[in-house]
Amino acid sequence: MAEHVALLSLLICGSLVFISADDDVTPAASSPVSEGCAENCSSFTAEPPRTTQRPLEGVPGEVPKSEEDGGPGQLECPPLGLESLRVKDTQLRASSYKRRGLGPHRGRLNIQSGIQDGDIYDGAWCALHRDKNQWLEVDALRLTRFTGVILQGRNSIWSWDVVHTYKVQFSNDSLVWKPSMNGTKEAVYEGNQDAETPVLSLFNASTVARYIRINPQSWYQNGTQGDVCLRAEVLGCVVPDPQNAYPWQTEPTQSRDKLDFRHHNYTEMRKLMKSVTEQCPDVTRIYSIGKSYKGLKLYVMEISDNPGKHELGEPEFRYVAGMHGNEALGRELLLNLMQYLCQEYKQGNQRVVQLVTQTRIHLLPSMNPDGYEMAYKKGSELSGWALGRYSYEGIDMNHNFADLNSVMWTAIELETDRSKLINHYFPIPEQYTSEDAFVASETRAVINWMQSVPFVLSANLHGGEVVVTYPYDMTRDWAPREHTPTADESFFRWLATAYASTNQVMSNPDRRPCHNKDFLRYNNIINGADWHNVPGSMNDFSYLHTNCFEVTVELSCDKFPHASELPVEWENNRESLLVYMEQVHRGIKGVIRDRDSEAGIPDAVVKVDDIDHHIRSAAGGDYWRLLNPGEYRVTASAEGYLPSSRTCQVMYDHFPTICDFRLARAPKRTPPLKKGMVPKDLRLRQLRRRKLRVTTKAINRRRATLKKVR
């Protein structure tokens, strides 16, 4: 063992200092180590301080990864968790602060301010005084080997405050402090030149202590108005405590599932998905729904007992992650989920077996692979709040779907005869289907996917908050925020609650808000438009253009958690992911057939009394209508047939009520549709769909030609 690592534990004035075999440990009498004994602290310095923006990745003990493959470099110690809230507010102190909204608890990397300066949700810690004696202190609670600091300026619409340089001090008791040294001088580290770019500074040598202070030395003055403000993350490895007889009580929770807990770039994601299909070839299938702007395929993992085939009566479910490329947790959770379902299915877990055999599951882990690759190359802590959010073309995909809300509300305002109004299957607007329309390749691919598969239920996984939102996402009169419910408000609230109430973080009544809104007041669910106005969202498009109900799940405060936190995040979300999938079996389902031939009738309209939103049957005549428990009067109708109504009772069971319909042909004066004919109200929808596909192909051909020329 001595050939690999020699771990020397020295007890120096109450501090454990860990030194690797590669370290040249020959402290002289005047070295910083000796000086530190008198001050109850330890510090090793040997060279000038290093400031780097090299991305972080990995966990302690991993072999550093080469950056030649385009991936991030790895550092030996992970973040303590200021950004992820693993570090509690009580662990943060400051020399002073201007007001509560600028207190030390706001000095967290990437924390976002509210719209108004001066409220309790401001975007940094800001000192009351403008001098070099101000500091932000972090209590790690245990002896920790500190290796570096990441700094950001203040997040604010109205103010510009950054720290240009700073010093660092360490302590074991928060009373006596030892500075980080640069030879015989106190080290000064580089801070920020702008407010949003995270800047990483690595210490010359790791220092073991319990407390660390960040002490600003220079900052943007703005005449005499510049404040001392910063957001920070601290890197450190917890030192094992030999006196702790119960280490499991203080060690972070890990997952019992044997999954690949790390961040995967595009190549690694493909390899992982392929390995899952090799382990479970009978119930999995990988397919692509299209390509990104840069040509990366949008891969989907299908999990079903008959992959590649829609089974009559079996509902289709989808999870979509990575719409915003820098919101990486959803991507990793879906990769974990496909591994988990495969493993548990093989082991005979009856809950998973039932899900796989009764549901056709589709998992799209990366809708925006171009954006993810940009964020991944920077790393989990250095990609900031926005790098990789948008597509390569700069498009925010959650504002990029056709705005069908405005189409619907305009029709309601102009049409006096409400019987002529439609409430579902809205066609895509003509201007949206042209080659010149500013529609991302990825958005076009997902729309085509939605139209090709009769999805019933979906969730769109995001990051940066902890809440579940449900449609509508767009306000009716373009107000900044306003509660804007759908006709299925009660069921959407049920769906959101199903996820939120089983999520370990959301269901914790003692958790603090992530940024600038306390969603605990709303039981961790909210109407999307009541949070903020999002025209062109995927949720609203899915509801108005297809049969599919969809919510957005904001998974964590940290958009791009460090790899060391992924096992805990999986534990937080595993039950929620399973419970939400099971909701696809709520409500009623059945097959609408021709009474004489018993053939399934496609595109039949299913209407539920008192709910102004219809759905349609799939190609085989099967349908699924998500409903809360209760008694409903349901009517099925199709062009060329007489409508039929019946009462359907939805119970609290975890399986749907079967409500089949057999429609009689209408009198000969209105003959039934011939094979291949389309109802009049669907023709426009299909024409626009075809045009969107044609223009997408033309755009892809043009891009391929340009790449060859280059």
- Residues carrying an active site annotation: 554
Beta strands 455-462 and 316-321 are parallel
Instruction: Give CA separation, 411 vs 292, 415, 416, 534, in Å.
Output: 34, 6, 9, 20
Torsion of CA 478, 481, 483, 489, to 10 degrees: 80
From CA 292, how far away is CA 451, in angstroms rounded?
19
DSSP 459: E
DSSP 105: G
Beta carbons within 10 angstroms of residue 19's beta carbon:
16
From CA 424, how far away is CA 403, in angstroms rounded?
14
The phi and psi torsions of 79 (rounded to 5 degrees) equal -70, 150
From CA 117, how far away is CA 101, in angstroms rounded?
9
Q: Is the peptide bond prior to 641 cis by the omega test (within 30 degrees of 0)? A: no
Angle at 26 between CA 22 and CA 30, to 5 degrees: 140
Per DSSP, the three-state class of 368 is: coil
Query: Are residues 511 and 565 in contact, defined by beta-carbon separation less than 8 angstroms?
Result: no
The single-letter code of the amino acid at 642 is: L
Hey, which bits of 411-524 come out as E strands?
455-462, 467-470
Beta carbons within 10 angstroms of residue 278's beta carbon:
10
The H or E element spanning position 489 is helix 489-500
From CA 510, how far away is CA 88, in angstroms rounded?
11
Query: Are residues 73 and 91 in contact, defined by beta-carbon separation less than 8 angstroms?
Result: no
Query: In this structure, which long-range contacts are made by residues 388-393, counting pairs with CB atoms below 8 Å and at least 24 apart in sequence?
Result: 388/324, 388/325, 388/326, 389/324, 389/325, 389/326, 389/327, 390/324, 390/325, 391/292, 391/293, 391/325, 391/440, 391/441, 391/442, 392/292, 392/293, 392/294, 393/293, 393/440
Query: Are residues 218 and 226 in contact, defined by beta-carbon separation less than 8 angstroms?
Result: no
Radius of gyration of the chain (CA): 29
3-state secondary structure 155-171: CCCCCCCCEEEEEEEEE
Tell me the H-state helices in 259-396. Answer: 266-279, 329-346, 350-358, 369-378
- Tokens standing for residue 76: 């030996």
The phi and psi torsions of 51 (rounded to 5 degrees) equal -120, 125
Beta carbons within 10 angstroms of residue 297's beta carbon:
17
- Tokens standing for residue 235: 């890197």
Query: Are residues 316 and 626 in contact, defined by beta-carbon separation less than 8 angstroms?
Result: no
Closest CA to 203 of 162, 250, 227, 236: 236
Tell me the H-state helices in 555-595. Answer: 566-582
